Amino acid sequence: MKQIFSVLFLMSFASGGLAIEAIQLPPGFTIEEYASVPNARSMVLGENGTIFVSNRRGGSVYAVRDNGKQTIRLLKGLNTPNGIALLDGDLYVAEIDRVTRYRDIESHLNDVPPGEVLDIDLPSDRHHGWRYIAFGPDNKLYVSIGAPCNICDETGYASIVRMNPDGSERETFASGIRNSVGFTWHPETGDLWFTDNGRDMLGDDLPADEINRATEPGQHFGYPYCHAGDLLDPQFGKGKRCSDYRPPAQKLGAHVASLGVRFYTGTQFPENYRGQLFIAEHGSWNRSKKVGYKVSMLKLVDGDVVSYEPFATGWLQGQSVSGRPVDLLVLEDGSLLVSDDHADKLYRISYSE
C-alpha cells in the first residue's frame, strides 16, 4: 500500500513545466524566469550580488551570478541541506544534524575552502529535520528544530533556537512550533515573524497553518497542545487551555504548507506593498483538493495584520501543479525573487508603471 501511495503522489504532481503566462499578478507586475537551479529552496543575497540557493534533495548549494546567467555548484554530497545564511561574508549551511561555516565565500566561488562545523548539538531525525536558519538583527544565528513526528510531545524539539555565530551560548528562543521552514524580522520593530505548518490527520480543513510573531524570548505557540490559537489537540490538549499560549498573528489555509516569508523592504513596488509580509505557500500534499501553490501577502497596519490576500497565483490550475514556491528574496533593485523546487527555477517579479 505504501508503494502504491508513493506512485500516486508522484503522478499527482507531474507537470509539463511552468507556463509562466499562467501566473497572475496585480496590475503593473510582471514575472520572468531568472535562473535554473535544481530543487531550488532557500535563498540569501551576498554583499557582491551573488545569490546563494540551497538544494535540499540533491545535497548541494549553488551560487547564481550575472543576473541569473551563471549558476555554479559550490557544494555537493551534503545531508539534506535546506537552510543557508550569510554573516560578514561567511556562508552558513544547515544540514540535518550540523551547521557548517564557509569563510569569505564570495571570494571563493570556484575554490570553496574547507568548512568549519559549529559545535551545536542538533538532532538527527529526518522527520521535519530539514532546517531553516537565518541571522537576526542581534547577529545571532537562529535555527529551527521541527517536531520529529506529525503530533508528539518530545523534549528538545518543536522550537527555534539561537546562538552566537560560532555556535556558543545556545538558547531556546521560542517553543511550541511544529515545523517552521521560514522566518524573518520586522525591519522596524525587530520582532521575529515565522511560518508554522499545522499537524496532519484532522481532515482537509483543520488545523490552519500559521504566521506567528515573537515579540520577546520565551514565548510558547501551542504545539502540540493547541493549534492555530483555538483548537485543542484531541490527544495532547486534554487539561490544557489555548489561552495559555500565544495565538498566531494570522491563520492561513489548512495544509497550504507556508514556507519562506519576507518583508518587502525595497522601493520598486508601489507604496502600499512596502513593509508588507510576503509568504511562499508551497502547497498541500495531504488534502482531497489541493490548496496553496502561490505567493500571498499580509498587509500590516501598526504591526497588526489587517488582510491576507493572494499576490501571485497560477502554479495550481484545477488540480494540476506546475510549480511550488519555497522562498522569497528582495533584490537590490527592489524586485522579488521566488524559488520553486518543483520546476527547478528562480523567478523574478518586477513592477513598472
Q: Within 13 Å of residue 296, how many CA atoms lie on the same side as its CB? A: 24
Cis peptide before 38 (omega within 30 of 0): no
Q: Which three cell numbers stand for residue 36?
A: 535554473
Relative to beta strand 159-163, strand 141-145 is antiparallel
291 residue type, one letter: V
DSSP string, 275-304: TPEEEEE---SSSSS----EEEEEEEETTE
Which of these, 326, 333, 325, lies nearest to 23 by C-alpha position?
A: 325
Residue 105: strand, helix, or coil: helix
- Inter-residue contact 279 to 295 (CB < 8 Å): yes
Q: Which three cell numbers stand for residue 206?
A: 483543520
Element housing 28 (H / E): none
β-strand partners of 277: 263, 298
Distance from C-alpha of 80 to C-alpha of 130, rounded to nearest angstrom? 6
- Inter-residue contact 296 to 310 (CB < 8 Å): yes
Distance from C-alpha of 78 to C-alpha of 93, rounded to nearest angstrom? 9
Residue-level pLDDT, tens digit, the chain, 353 residues? 333 323 333 333 444 455 688 999 999 999 999 999 999 999 999 999 999 999 999 999 999 999 999 999 999 999 999 999 999 999 999 999 999 999 999 999 999 999 999 999 999 999 999 999 999 999 999 999 999 999 999 999 999 999 999 999 999 999 999 999 999 999 999 999 999 999 999 999 999 999 999 999 999 999 999 999 999 999 999 999 999 999 999 999 999 999 999 999 999 999 999 999 999 999 999 999 999 999 999 999 998 999 999 999 999 999 999 999 999 999 999 999 999 999 999 999 999 98
Distance from C-alpha of 312 to C-alpha of 148, rounded to nearest angstrom? 32
Distance from C-alpha of 314 to C-alpha of 308, rounded to nearest angstrom? 17
Which residues have C-beta within 8 Å of that of residue 156, sequence separation ≥ 6? 123, 145
pTM score of the predicted model: 0.94
- Domains belonging to the chain, first-starting first, are 28-351 (2.120.10.30)
